Structures are given as C-alpha cells and as structure tokens.
Chains A and B, each alone.
Chain A
Amino acid sequence: MSQWESVIGLEVHVQLQTRSKIFSGAPTAFGAPPNTQACAVDLALPGVLPVLNAEAVRMAIVFGLAVEGEIAERCRFDRKSYFYPDLPKGYQISQLDEPIVRGGHLDIETDDGAAKRVRLTRAHLEEDAGKSLHEDYQGKTGIDLNRAGTPLLEVVSEPELASPEEAGRYFRALHTLVRTLGICDGNLNEGSMRCDANVSVRPRGSTDLGERTEIKNLNSFRFLDKALAFEIQRQIDVLESGGSVERQTLLYDAERDETRPMRGKELSDDYRYFPDPDLLPVVVTQSMLAQARATIPELPAAKRRRYVDELGLTDYDARWLTVDPDTAAYFDAAATACGRPKAAANWIMGDVAAAVRREDAAWTEVPVSASQLGKLIERIEDGSISGKIAKSLFKTLWDDGGEVDELIDSQGLRQVSDSDEIAAIVREVIDANPAQVEQVRSGKIRVLGFLVGQAMKASGGKANPKRVSELLQAALSTDGS
C-alpha cells in the first residue's frame, strides 16, 4: 500500500435541459450551425439585459431537494469578470456568495464496497460560455456562441473522494441522478456534464490537506479516471523527489495521457466578483418548493432499495438496473406488466441488454416494448411456451415487431403440455432407444437427460420439458418392474 493518499473534490458543470437559455429566449439545441442560436443577449450587444429562466431555477431546486441540500430562500447572481473571446460580456453571470443550493450529499461506495456519503458544498446556477474552435482559420480561432447562455448547475463536492475510482463512482452517481431528475440529458460527448477536479496528495493518515491542483474540463468517465491517476502519481513523484506541488490549473491531454498547465486567458487571479446590478435577488417561495418537490421521481437509491426489499431482487441486480434511469423505467414497466420482477430482471440483464448492446439502441427505444416483454415472460411462466422458444420469439419481436400471443398462435409455438400427446411421444422415444432405456433402468440416471432431449426434439421443441421428464420417469419405472 502506498504511503500516500489522494484527496479529490469535483466541480461538475451540469447543463440543464431547458428549452431556452438561462437569461435569454434563444434556443439551446445542440449542434446547430455556428452562431445561429445566439441572440442579442447571448452576443452581449449593447443595451440588452438578462431575464432569468424560471425552469432553470426549478431544476436547481429539484436537484437541491433530491440531494437533501438547503434551498436558499434568497439567492443572488454575481458578475465574474475576465476577458476571453467565448465570453461575450467579459463577465460570466454566476453565483458566488449566495448560491441557490447549499450542502446536500450523494451516496456512493468506497473501493471496498462500503457505503460512503459524499457531502456537497453547494450547487449554483450560472451561464455557459461559447466555444472556441481551434481549427485553422488562416491562423485564427473561430468563435461560436451558440452555447453561450446555456444554463449550468455547478455541483461542488467537498474534497473527500479518496481515489480516481471513487471520483468516477461519484461522477456516475451524479450522472444517474440528474438524468433521473430529468434536468440534464447526460450526453457527455456533447459536453452536457463537464467536470473540473481538485486533486492533492498527503501522507496516508494525515489530516492536513496538501497543496492542490485543478484539472479542467474532464468530459468523460474515462478521462476523469486517467487524468486523476496521472496527476496523483505526478504529485507523488514531485513530493518523493523532495519537491513541492505548485498550485496551478491544468488541462488533461488525452493523446499524451498527461496533465499540463493551462495557458488560456480565462484564468485570472482576480475575477472581481460583485452582485450583478441587472438582476434582482431571486426569492424561492414555498409554492415553488412544493411544485418542485411534486416533480421529483423515485431517486436511484430509493429505487434500488425497493427492488431489493419489495421485489426480491439481489443487490447486484438492483444496482445494475438503477444505474441508468431509462433501463430502470423499462424494467419497472416490464415487471409491472408480468408481475414477475425476478424474471423480468433476468431477461433485461440478459437477452435485452445483449440486444441493446449489439444494436447500440437506446433504452427508451427498445423495439420490444416493456409490455410485450412482460407478456413474453407471462407466457413462459404459464407454460404456454418454452424458454427456448421464448428466446427465438424475442428475436422475432426485436427484428420484426408483432404481438406475443398472435405470434405464438400464428407460428404454432404453443408448448404441448397435454399428457396424452406427450405420452405418445415418450412411447416413441422409449421404443426407438432400447439401449439407453436399459442404461437408465440399470441406474444411470444421467442418461435420462438424453431421452428427454430426444422427446423434446421429436416435439419440435414445443413439449413442456418438465412434463416430458415426469412422464418418461413414470413410464420407465412401470415398464421395468
């Protein structure tokens, strides 16, 4: 075990999925042609003024309630000044002293699997900046301000994550939560959640914090993990060679897998924060709180508990199903449809997940609807079809659509459970395989499986295997004695 331990705090910028910008009526859709979603306010033309989007406030409140933070009765917006070409006003409207949410927590697991409560410092509203495109425009940088003014909720954790793995679990838990709450689309590759990490190391067991560095703009789970691992080792190397860590802001270079100091001008040692005089204090009323509270769905942790306690799933299954809110929603619908949560979980984690992976499908757009999957499970459980038939039927449903009961009938898939019909098949099998019959009778019970298989084959897979086995055993015992 290393004699060093790392201390990590994350600041995650969560893009809120409002229709319009936080301070203007321009649209927020991703991927529009450059500067076609930046209105006069977003471009900071002279004389324009910000007006706050109610939905951004509601989403911040929803988040605060979900993490059991304290929602400020009054909060305020400040100007944070620095010059950068993707920051049109020369200041960012953010919240410094009076954020909308203080405190709260997010629960994760440690590397040993123990439960860990990560405390949040705060979550505050601010506006996003535009984008600088560094492709060569005759040696110049191009500025696209479409993203300028998109609402962000900056979620700041206390520095109490102990490893890159914990940091990753925290980021994932936050990802699941904001998607469950419906306040962020969670598309990391579109920059919907961007993470800055504060990192320091200290001798194991020490309670003092070492000097920290900040790594900016870690926009995927993988980069977060790799950047933290690199930076922690870099700091340890510095300290072990007798040096000291310098407080600085770093960028992670994914191609070289290293961190390096940031040179951009958006770094200032003096942001001159002060209350934005264009905006008045925001007052969160009791009715705003009540409305927000009413829109909060079942949270991932509660869902997981319910799956274990009420539905009887294993903790592993419950966790698997609740990582992604869309998967959980699919499961909930299928389990409700068939009334057999365990079977639904098995199917979803097995055949459905495999197909989703193979086809790179979204859980919201699985071609086999949750109610059809429920029906399929129901038909297995009531003995209408065999498990094997169900698997091929699932594939048919995925590829060509259709309705479970109709397909069972039209394709003649119904399992044969009728004793006379099966008894006839069993008779044929016994007659056709005297050697094996003899072996079973002499005590080689394992050979029974072969005979069952032969019977199933003879039935075209439609015989109820349990019935076949029962009747075979009965026939062999009566014949032999």
Chain B
Amino acid sequence: MSAGQFATIADIRTALRSKTTSAEELAREHLNRIARSELNSFVTVSEDDALATAREADRQIARQGQSGLLGIPIAHKDVFCTAGVRTTCASRMLAEFVPPYDATVVTKLRDAGAIMLGKTNMDEFAMGSSNENSHFGPVSNPWDATRVPGGSSGGSAAAVAAGLVPAATATDTGGSIRQPAALCGISGLKPTYGRVSRYGMVAFASSLDQGGPMARTAHDLRLLLHHMEGHDPLDSTSADVGPTPRGAGGTGLRIGIPREYGRDLDARLAATVDEAAAVFEGLGHERQDVSLPHTAYATAAYYVVASAEASTNLSRYDGVRYGHRAESPADLDDLYARSRSEGFGAEVKRRILTGTYALSIGYYDAYYRKAQRLRRLVRQDFLDAFATVDLILAPSTPSTAFEKGALLAPDETKDPTVMYEQDIYTVPASLAGLPALSIPCGNVGGLPVGMQLIAPHFGEDRLLGLAESFQRETDWHERTPPP
C-alpha cells in the first residue's frame, strides 16, 4: 500500500507525482476497501468505468505529470446525476433510473481528472439527518457501527471517514454536509448558495440546496472546491462570481461566538468548541460574543420553506416518464397515487404533505410567507453580526453520533421533529445562503465532535484559511476510526 488508507488528496498527489503509486493501483485499493466495507456507504460501485478511467489517467500522468485531481479516487453522493450510471437518490422511486446526462459538478470533477468509484448512500432525496431514510438501508458510522453517520450525506461522510475514498461530493440543504461530517470526524464544506452549480443535482429544496466537498482536511476541501465551483449558464441561481481566491485566511480576525447557539448543547461538546476558540485566540485572533436573535425560529422556518419547495420539486415523480410505476393502475389517479406512495418513503411523504399544507389556500400566509419573512430576519441577523465580526464559530451538532433507531423507529412511531432538532445549528446559515464548514475539533466518548465556521457570502477563502490554520495547530482531523 503506497498512499495509506487515510491519505489525504495532498498525500496521494505526492505519491502519484513520485510514481510510488498509480491511479489504477489507487483505484483498485479503494475499490477493494469498498468491497470489504460493511458500512453500506455505497449504493452503486462503478468498478469497470473507474478502472478504465484510472488507466487513462495513468497514461496522462505519464505524458504530462499529475495535476489537479488527476488520478484521485472520489465518490459522488447519489443525488448527482451520472450519465449511464444509475442515480437513485436512495429512493425506490429512482432505484432503476439511469440519467442520460452528467451533473455539472460531475463533469467538472471528471474534467479535473478525478476517478469516480461509485455513488454513495444517503437519506432518500436528501431528507434526513441519520441516513436511516434510505431505500438501500442505513449506513453505519465507522467510529461505531451501531451508530448513525448523520445525514443526509451519510454515505459520503462514512466513506471518507473509513478511508474508502479520500474525498466525496455531498449536498447540504439544512446541514446535510456539516452534520454528517461532524458525526464522522471529517471536514465538510457547504459553499455559499450559488457557488456550485445545482444542474444535475436532484432537487430537494431549490433555494437552499448547495453541493460541496467532503474530505479529510480543509486543505483538500479547498482543492476540491476549486474544481467544483463556477458560474453555470444551466443554473439560473448560479452566482457569476470569480473563483475562490487562494488566500491565507488572514490574521487578527474577529471570531464571533453566537450567544443563542449554546442552549441545548451537551456540556462536553460545548467544551470542545470552547477549546477550539482558545486555539484561535492562540493564533492571534480575537473572540467576541455576537447575537443572532432569530435563531430560535430558524428550524421552523427552514422546515416550512424546504418542505414547500420539496413538495413541488417531487411532483415530477409521477410514474409517467421514468421512475417507479405501480402495477396495472386502474386509472390516472390510481397511477399517480400508488406510484408515488409506493415509490416514496415515510419521511419524503411527510415533507411533501408538510409543504403542501404550507402552500395551500388559507395557510400560505401563515406558514410559507411567514417563514420567508423569518428567513429575511435570520439573514439580517448574520449581516448585522458580520458588521462586527469576520467569522462565526459555532457547534455543528447538538450531540455526537446517536444510536441507530434512537430518533427514528422503523415503524415510524417516533416524533419526527426530534430528528429535525439535529439541524438547529446548521439551518440558520442555510436559510441565509452563507458558506459554512464543519471540521473535527474534539472527541467525546470515543466519538468525534465537529465545529462549524460560518463566513459572509462568498467568504470561502477566509473560512478555509482559518480551518487550515486550525488543522495545522491540532490533530483532530488526523484521528481515524478504530479498525
């Protein structure tokens, strides 16, 4: 083994450049690990394609050396469309769906030379915080197989944490990159809304969804972001801004600690975030209290907005043009109702109905419009805070990885809103469209703890710079799950 199970992209690039390994050898090693893994983190493994692409990468490396992501094995969350490779969104509805096109992110990463090994498991249609809402079964947390990896990007997070791939793509609507990254002890970045194209990314909530990278280090996140971001004429909401610069993150920054984020937090987790703040102080930054007064309303507003958008985004799954279709429908209504009821899992149905409710006559103003007003207030809280601080430091999750079944019973008898509380620290930045990342900052009871950094819109450079400086000072990101 030439680059180590937990090698970073940077390590692998070095190994490829020094010819101590090849792209094909790397692909085989990682494919073997995936095959041996019992985490259930992959829905589809595309071995033949991967090996063929890897051999082509080796020829290119031989010709012109390694650059970009050439030869780097990665995995895509199964929410990104991949031409010719089934894209399921972990739903029975799309269990057999083979897209005729690639998502823009998939195209960009392939153009950068990355080798896709397969598609990772997730909560169905990216709805969930435990990866237990998957048609293909739950994913296990590599640190403790009885626990969840978080969600919805649980497959990507578990795969990176277990060293099955050095990096994976993921999406974050209300915390789906940051929460599983925290629970699996890896680094994950949710870019500014609009930084990464949504084209070909199966929609959950269009005004919130944002693709981003998961990796072992902030340094790798930066490299991945460089090859994922950019204006896309196929996505009207894609921001026409230049690439993220490669700065150092700056010195003497003012780091805001939001007062409202401490409540509900396990004291041991709170301590790790506090220690992280101390590390930043040690690096010459300044800690400052800030207030984000509408935080308490963020979760409710988020569930209304996300569900409303989802309820219509998922109307296209009707059993007519693709996707699951019920056997011998009696009439058109029967075709729709049974195809959809059979094709969608319980959580997806809950969100569709919640969203339908929030948009229906008589409830629209009280729910949907109200939520969008609160959304403005939540965003304004951040804009006000960023008038006095450069970044915000917060916990990523209210707890470490929880037991499978603890918040979600297979018979759906548990209160679904308890799971929704998993996202209390991540949804405010989502509503505001801000860039935020989660990196490991401690360990409680043998399980990783993540901290969240939130920056102003398009402030990824500073965000990554600060995370990189933290990872130079600490080794939480180098810890690996027990074998």
A50 with B100: CB separation less than 8 A: no
How far, in Å, is A26 (CB) from chain B's closest CB? 13
Q: Who on chain A is nearest to B91 by CB? A: A46
Contact indicator B318/A45 (Cβ below 8 Å)? no
CB contacts (< 8 Å) of A81 on chain B: these are 311-312, 315, 359
| Selected interface stretch from A274-282, A296-304, A314-322, A382-390 | A274-282
> What is the number of residues of chain A that contact chain B, defined by CB distance less than 8 Å?
31
| B443 interfacial contact with A, CB 8 Å | no
Neighbouring B residues of A46 by C-beta, 8 Å: 81, 87, 89, 94, 97, 99, 202-203, 316
Number of interface residues of B (CB under 8 A): 43
The closest CB in chain B to the CB of A141 belongs to: B332
The reply to whether A89 and B81 contact each other, CB–CB distance below 8 Å, is no
Contacting residues, chain A, for B99 (C-beta < 8 A):
45-47
A265 and B332 form a contact (CB under 8 A): yes
B273-317 contacts to A (CB < 8 Å): 308-309, 311-312, 315-316
Q: Which of B160-177 contact A (CB under 8 A)?
A: none
Known: A45-B322, A46-B202, A81-B312. A279 touches B103 (CB 8 A): no
In A244-283, the 8 Å CB interface with B consists of 265, 269-270, 272-274, 276-280
Q: Chain A residue with minimal CB distance to B89?
A: A46
Contact at B236–A79, with CB atoms within 8 Å? no
Residues of B within 8 A of A221 (CB): none
Check if A278 sits within 8 Å of B315, measured CB to CB: no
User: Are A47 and B336 touching (Cβ within 8 A)?
Assistant: no
Task: Tell me whether B201 is interfacial, beta carbon within 8 Å.
Answer: yes
Distance from B275 Cβ to chain A, minimum over Cβ atoms (Å):
39
Residue of B nearest to A79 (CB): B312
Is A277 touching B206 in the complex (CB atoms < 8 A)?
A: yes
A83 at the interface (CB under 8 A from B): yes
A90 and B234 contacting across the interface, CB-CB below 8 Å: no
Residues of A within 8 A of B360 (CB): 270, 272
B198 x A272 contact (CB < 8 A) = no
Is A51 close to B, CB under 8 A?
yes
Q: Tell me whether A188 is interfacial, beta carbon within 8 Å.
A: no
Determine whether B237 belongs to the interface, using a CB cutoff of 8 Å to chain A.
Answer: yes
Q: Is B236 in contact with A52, judged by CB distance below 8 angstroms?
A: yes
**Complex: how many Å from CA A219 to CA B95?**
42
A43 within 8 A of B: yes
Q: Is the CB of A83 within 8 A of B315?
A: yes
Given A47-B99, A47-B202, A277-B207: A90 and B316 interface contact (C-beta under 8 Å)? yes
Tell me the chain B residues, 393-438 only, with Cβ under 8 Å from chain A: none
| A475 interface residue per 8 A CB criterion | no
How close is A134's CB to chain B, nearest CB, in angstroms? 12
Q: Is A54 an interface residue, CB under 8 A from the partner? A: no
The interface residues of chain A lying within 8 Å CB-to-CB of B103 are 47
Q: Are B200 and A277 in contact (CB under 8 A)?
A: no
Assess A44 versus B332: contact at CB under 8 Å? Given A91-B315, A278-B206: no
B364 close to chain A: CB less than 8 A: yes
B356 at the interface (CB under 8 A from A): yes
Let me know if B315 and A48 touch, CB within 8 A: no
- Write the chain B residue with the least CB distance to A44: B316
CB distance from A104 to the nearest CB of B (A): 28
Determine the chain A residues whose CB is within 8 A of the CB of B235 once the complex forms. Answer: 49, 51
**Is residue B233 contacting chain A, with contact meaning CB distance below 8 A?**
yes
Q: Which residues of B contact A91 (CB under 8 A)?
A: 312, 315
B48 within 8 A of A: no
| Contact pattern, A 42-67, Cβ under 8 Å of B = 1, otherwise 0 | 01111111111000000000000000
Is A85's CB within 8 Å of the partner chain B? yes
Known contacts A45-B322, A274-B364; A280/B203 CB under 8 A: no
CB of B356 within 8 A of CB of A272, answer yes
Shortest CB-to-CB span from A465 to chain B, Å, is 71
Residue B63 lies at the interface, judged by CB distance under 8 Å to chain A: no
B203: nearest chain-A partner, CB-CB: A47
A265 & B321 in contact (Cβ 8 Å cutoff): no
Distance of B422 from chain A, by nearest CB (Å): 23
A88 within 8 A of B: yes
In the complex, what's the smallest C-beta–C-beta distance from A21 to chain B, in angstroms?
A: 14
A143 in contact (CB, < 8 A): yes
Contact string against A for B residues 73-87, beta-carbon threshold 8 Å, 1 for contact and 0 otherwise: 000000011000001
A47 to B203, CA, bound (A): 6
Are B236 and A279 interface neighbours, CB within 8 A? yes
Q: Which residue of A lies closest to B315 (CB)?
A: A90
Report A-chain residues with C-beta under 8 Å of the C-beta of B320.
85, 88, 143
Complex-state Cα separation, A280 to B433, whole angstroms: 14
Given contacts A40-B100, A83-B336, A85-B332, contact A48 B200 (CB under 8 A): yes
What residue of chain A has the Cβ atom nearest to residue B361's Cβ?
A270
Contact of A274 with B359 in the complex, beta carbons under 8 Å? yes
Task: Given A79-B312, A272-B359, check contact A44 B321 (CB 8 Å).
Answer: yes
The distance from the CB of A83 to the nearest CB of chain B, in whole angstroms, is 6
Most buried by A among B80, B97, B103, B200: B200
A417-456 interface with B by 8 A CB criterion: none
Q: Is the CB of B236 within 8 A of A278?
A: yes
> Across the two chains, which residue of chain A brings its CB closest to B337?
A83
Nearest chain B CB to A112 CB, angstrom units: 43
Which chain A residue has the least Cβ–Cβ distance from B233?
Answer: A51
| A89 to B312 alpha-carbon distance, docked (Å) | 8
Contact bitstring A82-104, B, C-beta under 8 A = 1, else 0: 01010011110000000000000
* Beta-carbon nearest neighbor of A272 in chain B: B359
Chain B 41-65, CB-CB to A under 8 Å as 1, else 0, gives: 0000000000000000000000000
Give the residue name and chain of the A residue nearest to B340 (CB). A83
Tell me which residues across on chain B come within 8 A of A143, comparing CB atoms.
320
1/0 per residue B189-228: CB within 8 Å of A?
0000000001111110111000000000000000000000
B residues whose Cβ falls under 8 Å from a Cβ of A: 80-81, 87, 89, 94, 97, 99-101, 103, 198-203, 205-207, 233-237, 308-309, 311-312, 315-316, 318, 320-322, 332-333, 336, 356, 359-361, 364, 368
User: 29 interchain pairs (CB within 8 A)?
Assistant: A44-B321, A46-B81, A46-B89, A46-B203, A47-B80, A47-B81, A47-B103, A47-B200, A47-B202, A48-B199, A49-B237, A50-B236, A51-B234, A51-B236, A52-B236, A83-B315, A89-B312, A89-B316, A90-B312, A90-B315, A143-B320, A270-B360, A272-B311, A272-B360, A272-B364, A274-B312, A277-B309, A278-B236, A280-B236
Task: With A90-B318, A278-B237 given, name 7 new contacts (CB 8 A).
Answer: A46-B81, A51-B233, A81-B359, A85-B332, A89-B312, A278-B236, A279-B237
Residues in A lying within 8 Å of B, measured CB to CB: 40, 43-52, 79, 81, 83, 85, 88-91, 143, 265, 269-270, 272-274, 276-280
9 shortest interchain CB distances as A-B pairs: A90-B315, A277-B207, A277-B206, A272-B359, A44-B316, A47-B200, A46-B202, A47-B202, A47-B81
